[in-house]
Amino acid sequence: MESYLRDRLEDQINWYDSKSMSCQKNYNLNKYIQIIAGALIPAITPFSLVFNTLTFTIATSILGLLIVISQSISSIKKFHENYIQYRTTCEVLKHEKYLYLYNVEPYDNEKEPIKLLVSRVESIISNENINWQTMRQDIKEEERC
């Protein structure tokens, strides 16, 4: 049963941790693109008026497109929501692991604490899967509209 800790629990903790970090990086990248592009638009606009060239107008348009595309991708992929959900699940799994390893409540009075751990961890993972499926269904419904 101790292999459960290594083969299942640690594996899930690592997976949620990795996915959380990936979503956070993607979310931050999209936000940086939006901030930088948004800040450059008012900085470039006066040059297009002064020099009266098409180059600055095109650059301003491209920056605006970058903002819209970046926000759309972030909204569709739900980087922020996934980052928070994956991080929460990862931390809850870690919490269960440490409660079990240090034999504290609810594991301290159990004859077979590993069975309780398995039950609780699988419940956490199952709930996360249900939440993920619900979110995916919501995305599909939004795409139909």
Domain range summary for the chain, segments of one domain joined by + = 2-144
Q: What is the pLDDT of residue 132?
A: 74
Number of DSSP helices (H) and strands (E) in the chain, helices first:
5, 0
Structural element, H or E, at residue 7: none
pTM for the full predicted model? 0.81
Q: Which amino acid is at 116?
A: L
| Closest C-alpha to 30, from 90, 73, 62, 1 | 73
pLDDT(48) > 90: no
Q: What is the pLDDT of residue 130?
A: 83
User: Torsions phi, psi of 102, nearest 5?
Assistant: -100, 10
